[in-house]
Amino acid sequence: MILDAFKGVKYKSQSKNYKYFYRGQYGVMPDTEDLVQGMKSKRVKLQSYEKYLKNFQYKKALDAALAS
């Protein structure tokens, strides 16, 4: 029988090698405009009470939060 001839033969999986060789080739690249806009994000200003909290000045932070 034909199947008996192939019993001792070990086959290596081709899918792993194919995926490794062609990795990233068919990926979608983002537009350059999107990359530039992401890099130029505005910095968020902290509220006055948040600045006090960062400096561990809890009393001033509470006063500033209640005042606003």
According to the model, what pLDDT value does residue 14 have? 57
pLDDT value of residue 37:
65
Q: CB atoms < 10 A from the CB of 52, how many? A: 19
Taking the C-alpha atoms of residue 67 and residue 11, their distance in angstroms, rounded to an integer, is: 75
Whether pLDDT at 8 is above 80: no
Q: 19, 27 in Cβ contact below 8 A?
A: no
Q: What is the pLDDT of residue 61?
A: 96
Tracing tokens 């062609």 back to the chain, one arrives at 22
Task: Output the six-digit token pair for 11.
Answer: 């086959």
**26-67 per-position pLDDT tens digit:** 666 767 776 676 666 677 899 999 999 999 999 999 999 999
Q: Which residue has the tokens 């033969």?
A: 9
